[in-house]
Amino acid sequence: MKQDPSFLQPRCGARPAAAFARTTAAALAALTVAGCSFIPSYERPAPVLPAGYALADTSAAQQAPSAADIDWRDYFTDPRLQRLIGMALGNNRDLRLAMLNVEQARAQFQIRRADEYPTLAGMANAARQPNASNGQYGNLFQVGLGVTAWEIDFFGRIAALREQALAQYLASTEARKSAQISLVAAVAAGWLNLMADEELLDISRRTLATREESVRLTQLRLENGVSSELDNRQAQSLAEAARATYAQQQRQRLLDENALVLLLGQPLPDDIRASLPAARLADAAPMQPLRAGLPSELLERRPDIRQAEQQLIGANANIGAARAAFFPRIALTASVGTVSNELSGLFKGGSWAFSLAPQLAVPLFDAGRNEANLQAAQVGREMAVAQYDKAIQTAFREVSDALAGRATLGEQLQAQNAQAAADARRLELSELRYRNGIASYMDVLDAQRSLFATQQGLVLTRLQQLHNQVALYKVLGGGWSDVSLAAADGAAAPAQPASR
């Protein structure tokens, strides 16, 4: 990889303007270098985004608030769903893991911040050693305070690592917000799935009962010589198809409940389960319109995009640490205390001693290790830039897809409502014509099959429309707030470390 020729040029504080005496040159050099940073100046990459979405907001949505400004309790107004979401925020294991990742990243940042300061430790030492003057053995006791191998960060290596740890902590915080957004949307979608399952089961039960009655009637007509065996076999075939569909939907109902239980982290409450058979998607609590806004607003609304940017900032800081590794490391070991040949002589006058041992390590030959570390850090930044761009592009695609659904699913649902009404009327007319001997029973069975399929399609389209509203709320950054984060954590949200 081609490197910037100025990759080892630090950004330092102000240098003294006047010349100093030769006797203070070493001290001036330390003061001049102190405060330098090899971290490249960070600039947010300019994403390539269109000026607006292909599908503009409707007139109702133009005046609506953005999803990020709406708490999930205000968007999902069904008390049962609110209760389920609250249970999931308190018990979901994936969200708990995301919270623990935040705590771990915060501890890692505190460790890096502590590296900038010396560690003061109490020291006690007892030794028996020969006396250089007479060769006899004697005792030596020492008690005091000491600082061991404290690295003085002249070139900003430790500060760069601290910046990287801070960026990782902030990225984990954004990841925790993304986890809550996904969880809220998943619980809402799971609840709607259960409502749709119950509605489909009700349609299948009624259809199966109707077709079993048709089998009974055609059997009677066959026994009396009024109809053919073909009518009876066709009726039996449709009845068995309805029975198979009913069994399939029962299985899907159980699978959807199991998926929701996993999200909740506990079984579905009995009172909520008991209310499901009477639930209908058409009676679901409405969700308010949402304003899509401009694509550029996603950079601030979406936690996953902010997470990718923090990871980019951390990768940028890693370059500073890799650059600083080319320069000397200065470590300081110091101690102060009391020394005596006898325990009783400690802490007496004249027994106090002080030692100071600075150490300078200059990298001369490392077989290319520092160069490789720098190249790896630079490649890591390029990867972080690519991930940041992908996060933005993915977010734009998700919002565009949700807007496409909002623009077309309403018309589709309206058309399928009309189709269901027409098929219901067609079945009535077919039965009337059959009873009057004008049409065959095949027309009745075909009308039954068509109405069953249309009613199922209507439920699925209504479910898809509600899922689209949930998805639009999610992809626009709704589903989390400082209040909801604190409620989910069971306490106030922890304060973030001091910013850069």
Show Cβ contacts of residue 77 under 8 Å, excluding neighbours closer than 6 positions: 285, 286, 287
The Cα–Cα gap between 154 and 35 comes to: 7
Tens digits of residue pLDDT in 36-90? 788 999 888 888 877 778 776 665 566 778 888 899 999 999 999 999 999 999 9
User: What is the predicted pLDDT for the residue at 313?
Assistant: 95
Mean pLDDT within 474-484: 79
User: What is the predicted pLDDT for the residue at 72?
Assistant: 93
Sheet of 329-340, strands arranged across: 120-130, 137-152, 329-340, 352-361
Mean pLDDT within 460-478: 94
The fold for domain 50-116+156-184+263-327+372-489 equals: Outer membrane efflux proteins (OEP) (1.20.1600)
User: What is the predicted pLDDT for the residue at 431?
Assistant: 87
Of 405, 420, 461, 414, the residue nearest 196 (C-alpha): 461
Neighbours of 44 (CB within 10 A): 10
The Cα–Cα gap between 153 and 116 comes to: 7
pTM: 0.83
User: What is the predicted pLDDT for the residue at 458?
Assistant: 94
Sign of the CA dihedral running 421, 423, 427, 428: positive
Cβ 417 vs Cβ 458: under 8 Å = yes
User: What is the predicted pLDDT for the residue at 3?
Assistant: 44
Comparison of pLDDT for 255 and 117, the residue scoring more: 255
- Tell me if residue 474 falls in helix, strand or coil: helix
The Cα–Cα gap between 311 and 390 comes to: 13
> Does residue 415 have a pLDDT over 70?
yes
How buried is 459 (Cβ within 10 angstroms: 0-12 exposed, 13-18 middle, 19+ buried)?
A: buried
Query: What is the number of alpha carbons within 13 Å of residue 316 lying toward its C-beta?
Result: 19
Mean pLDDT within 109-133: 83
> From 1.20.1440.230, 3.40.50.300, 3.40.50.620, 2.20.200.10, which CATH number describes the 120-152+330-362 domain?
2.20.200.10
Of 327, 329, 328, 348, the residue nearest 337 (C-alpha): 348
Band the pLDDT of 298: cuts 50, 70, 90: confident
> Does residue 199 have a pLDDT over 90?
yes
- Tell me if residue 269 falls in helix, strand or coil: coil
The Cα–Cα gap between 311 and 105 comes to: 13
Q: Where are the domains of the chain?
A: 50-116+156-184+263-327+372-489, 120-152+330-362
> Does residue 4 have a pLDDT over 70?
no
- Tell me if residue 151 falls in helix, strand or coil: strand
Position 491, amino acid? A
List 336's β-bridge partners, or say none. 145, 354
Tens digits of residue pLDDT in 344-355? 667 776 567 788
The Cα–Cα gap between 320 and 238 comes to: 72
The Cα–Cα gap between 393 and 298 comes to: 10
Show Cβ contacts of residue 296 under 8 Å, excluding neighbours closer than 6 positions: 49
> Does residue 28 have a pLDDT over 50?
no
Comparison of pLDDT for 23 and 194, the residue scoring more: 194
Cβ 164 vs Cβ 38: under 8 Å = no
Instruction: Write down the mean pLDDT value for the chain.
Output: 84
As given in the structure block, the two tokens for residue 319 are 């370059």
